[in-house]
């Protein structure tokens, strides 16, 4: 199993863990990943890290598709990839949620499935530079001829000769988008993935593969990446480690999304924690954040994380290796964890 380092997005101050990323690269980590919500963006930090590293892959998990047109996303990805020496950028995309899409970006929620489908197809055309780009999709058309258009839009081909094979991954968790991911993407950033859950998704991915094969593409698990997020918190006190991870769960399940449209809450319900999910959201939206945090079940945190002393983390990592994920994206604030996980995953050692 490969390892990536997930550094996410900033808090109230921008503080990239450059030395941690450099240490991960030295230890043999495959990739480093950024994110964005409604503060720092996902691409700019990777441009900075490209200059501070030599070979580690640079991934977005995710670029929000409402934040950029597909052409701009392709330009961002290709520019950083070129500055990094080529073959290093991974364009991870996702839709975010309607509160951010409509409240922050001022765009209609619309039909996310077709928006993603058009978006990926346009990015592929731009990367490959086979001809000036046109697209007649259900959500996106190039050139644009809709309301307010002058009618003079011209199909264009990128001036920059881009890496034509920049991989595109999709953050997805429901049936339609997971199937789409298997169909048109190179990899998957699954929402809510834990050991033992691949059976929920595998048939959807394989249906996507079959669609791609019908178009003549070679698509299988052999050339498809699955990037699973693993929160890692090392502490001799297991309960203390679990408790430190609960505030983020409370935030996402309770407040990161509308009451009636919250992917994280829906995932928790799907995993059998419906009562807890409802209670967390009720408390969080009432402003009782400490109580919402306390309502997060230990078992939920433990299932999607590696917590406790080093021995316990080593013992439990085997389940992640057997989970079907190709890469574990380590999320941690502890430099010691970066070293421990490299040892546990046997990076740069004969297998």
Supply the pLDDT for residue 271.
86
Question: Domain spans of the chain?
Answer: 2-235+309-344, 236-307
Cα–Cα nearest to 3, from 57, 54, 49: 57
Model confidence at 266, pLDDT cuts 50, 70, 90, reads confident
CATH number of 2-235+309-344: 3.20.20.30
Using a 10 angstrom Cβ sphere, with 0-12 exposed, 13-18 middle and 19 or more buried, the burial of residue 248 is middle
Q: Does the bond joining 304 to the residue before it have cis omega, within 30 degrees of 0?
A: no
Q: Are 49 and 22 spatial neighbours (Cβ–Cβ below 8 Å)? A: no
Task: Give the separation between CA 229 and CA 208, rounded to whole angstroms.
Answer: 22
Does 351 score more than 60 pLDDT?
Answer: no
Q: How confident is the model at residue 350 (pLDDT cuts 50, 70, 90)?
A: low
Q: What is the mean pLDDT of residues 277-297?
A: 94
Q: Which residue has the tokens 């480093």?
A: 32
Whole-angstrom CA distances from 130 to 78, 124, 157, 164, 333 are: 16, 10, 8, 10, 43
Q: Indicate the SS3 state at residue 92.
A: strand
Asked if residue 257 has pLDDT above 60, the reply is: yes
Residue from 23, 9, 126 nearest 76 by CA: 126
Tell me, what's the pLDDT at 85? Answer: 97
Handedness of CA 211, 216, 221, 223 (dihedral sign): negative
State the pTM of this model: 0.94
221 secondary structure, DSSP code: G
**Exposure of 66 in the CB half-sphere (CA atoms within 13 A):** 22
Least confident of 33-42, 59-68, 226-235, 250-259: 250-259
The mean per-residue pLDDT over the stretch 63-75 comes to 98
Element (H, E) at 226: strand 225-234
What whole-number distance in Å separates Cα of residue 49 and Cα of residue 17? 10
Q: Which of 334, 276, 329, 274 is nearest to 304 (CA)?
A: 329
- Angle, helix 175-184 to helix 198-214, in steps of 10 degrees: 40
**Spatial CB neighbours of 26, under 8 Å, sequence gap ≥ 6:** none
The 8-class DSSP code of residue 40 comes to S
User: In percent, how much of the chain has pLDDT > 70?
Assistant: 99
Whole-number Å distance between alpha carbons of 175 and 118? 18
Helices (H) and strands (E) counted in the chain, each on its own, are 14, 12
pLDDT digits (tens, 9 = 90+) for 304-339: 999 999 999 999 999 999 999 999 999 999 999 999
CA 343 to CA 351: how far, in whole Å?
13
- Exposed, middle or buried, 93 (CB in 10 Å: 0-12/13-18/19+)? buried
Q: What gap in Å lies between CA 160 and CA 116, rounded to an integer? A: 24
Whether the link from the prior residue into 300 is cis, omega within 30° of 0, is no
Question: pLDDT digits over 89-144, tens only?
Answer: 999 999 998 889 999 999 998 889 999 999 999 999 999 999 999 999 999 999 99
The answer, yes or no, to whether residue 261 has pLDDT greater than 80, is no
Residues above pLDDT 90, as percent of the chain: 91
Q: What is the DSSP letter of 146?
A: S
């Amino acid at each position: 199993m490969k390892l990536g380092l997930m550094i996410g997005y900033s808090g109230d101050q921008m503080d990239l863990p450059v030395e941690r990323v450099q240490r991960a690269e030295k230890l043999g980590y495959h990739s480093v990943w950024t994110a964005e919500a409604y503060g720092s963006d996902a691409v700019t930090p990777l441009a900075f890290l490209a200059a501070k590293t030599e070979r580690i892959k640079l991934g977005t998990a995710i670029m929000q598709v409402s934040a950029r047109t597909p052409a701009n996303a392709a330009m961002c990805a290709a520019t950083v990839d070129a500055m990094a020496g080529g073959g290093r950028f991974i364009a991870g995309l996702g839709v975010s949620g309607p509160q951010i899409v409509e409240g922050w970006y001022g765009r209609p929620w619309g039909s996310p499935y077709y928006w993603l489908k058009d978006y990926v197809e346009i990015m592929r055309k731009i990367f490959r530079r086979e001809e000036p780009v046109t697209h007649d999709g259900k959500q996106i058309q190039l050139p644009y001829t809709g309301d307010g258009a002058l009618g003079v839009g011209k199909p264009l081909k990128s001036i920059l000769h881009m890496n034509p094979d920049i991989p595109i991954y999709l953050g997805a968790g429901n049936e339609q988008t997971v199937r789409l991911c298997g169909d048109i993407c190179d990899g998957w950033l699954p929402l809510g993935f834990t050991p033992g859950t691949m059976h929920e998704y595998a048939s959807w991915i394989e249906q996507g593969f079959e669609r791609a094969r019908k178009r003549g593409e070679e698509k299988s698990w052999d050339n498809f990446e699955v990037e699973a997020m693993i929160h890692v918190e090392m502490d001799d006190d297991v309960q203390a480690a679990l408790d430190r991870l609960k505030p983020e769960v409370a935030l996402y399940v309770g407040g990161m999304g509308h009451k009636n449209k919250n992917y994280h809450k829906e995932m928790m319900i799907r995993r059998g924690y419906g009562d807890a999910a409802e209670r967390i959201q009720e408390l969080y939206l009432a402003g009782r954040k400490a109580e919402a945090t306390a309502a997060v079940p230990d078992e939920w945190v433990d299932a999607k994380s590696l917590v406790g002393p080093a021995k316990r983390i080593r013992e439990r990592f085997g389940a992640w290796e057997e989970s079907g994920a190709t890469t574990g994206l380590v999320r941690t604030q502890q430099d010691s964890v970066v070293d421990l996980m490299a040892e546990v995953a046997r990076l740069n050692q004969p297998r």
